Structure 1
Amino acid sequence: MFQIIISVIVIALIAALAIASIFYAGEAFTAASTRTNVATLMTQSQQIVAGVAVYKTTTGVELVKDKTWTERIPVDENNALYTERYLHKLPLGVQRLTYGPWELTLNGTVLFIPFKDGSPNAGGRLSAQEIVDICAEVYRLRGATGSYCSTSPDLPTAAAGVYPVTPDNAYEVKGFALAFN
């Protein structure tokens, strides 16, 4: 009888620990997922920028000639980086976060990555808290001078940036821009 009582107590303690770890560790798993997704986007963007540099070195031609924000080149299957094999694969992004073509601008040194916007083709919308977390992670990894969340894909400049991003202004953010020198 004593062994049965001890066994029931041990099972109850294990169940309580399991429930507590799921409840309290859930936030840690979400934060790690956000960090992983942003790191994936950063890595893919660095591959694109490296492709631009190799393309310019090899051909002597700048892919994005305009030194302003007006000329934007989508990174898609028609882009010279892909057609001339400077990129083996197009960036997949993170399907949960991004939608639409990534765009090179400002002489190929800035890459704009659009967030899902809730349009029917985008397959849903990020929550305000997800946008806040992503922007915070982008700032943490790159610093405010190297990247920013942008309210406009037409003017992805520091002036158009929304910082700090809060749940109140999160839906103004259209994506984030990564600057590479």
Structure 2
Amino acid sequence: MLLSAAAAANAAIELSLLPVSQSAAELSVGVAISGLSDGAAPALGAYDFDVLFDTAHLAYVSADFGDAGLGDQLDAFALGVNPQSAALAEAGKLNVFELSLDDPADLNAWQADNFTLAVLHFNILQTGDTTLSLAVNALGDADGDALAASTTPLTVTAVPVPPAFALMAAGLGLLVKPRRSA
């Protein structure tokens, strides 16, 4: 009975790619987890996944670990000692990893049920639709036991923005009225 309850809890865990911000030249994508238990097991203790993307459209720039509002939920006391990495494994494959060194009881007691693991920053190289997806290598709970999770990909559309001069000229054209000769 207990085993089936744990399997049901694991089935509801989801990793999602969510748009954080986008301009004509840059894209920021959050990797979020949901379906954990708030203040109870299972809490996330480690993750290792790959973000797959099209190098014709995007170029990886950097990563910020943790949730903007909640902090790094794998570092309950913000000690900053967790091993973490975001590095290109190959073209179009970004590996993202973090291992909590916190006590399992602290993670289970203090971790939120859903939060952002990291925000990934990309330069946009080409306009058009492109999809980012996740390949989970490993997810572990606070005790190091495996967690199963579903994943949600993200499709973004890069739209070209007119040059600043063209926008300014269009705005000035609206302000200037032609003179009529008498």
The two structures have a TM-score, normalised by structure 2, of 0.29
The two structures have a TM-score, normalised by structure 1, of 0.29
Q: Which has the higher contact order (CA 8 A, sep 6+)?
A: 2
Structure showing the higher strand proportion among its residues: 2
Structure showing the higher helix proportion among its residues: 1
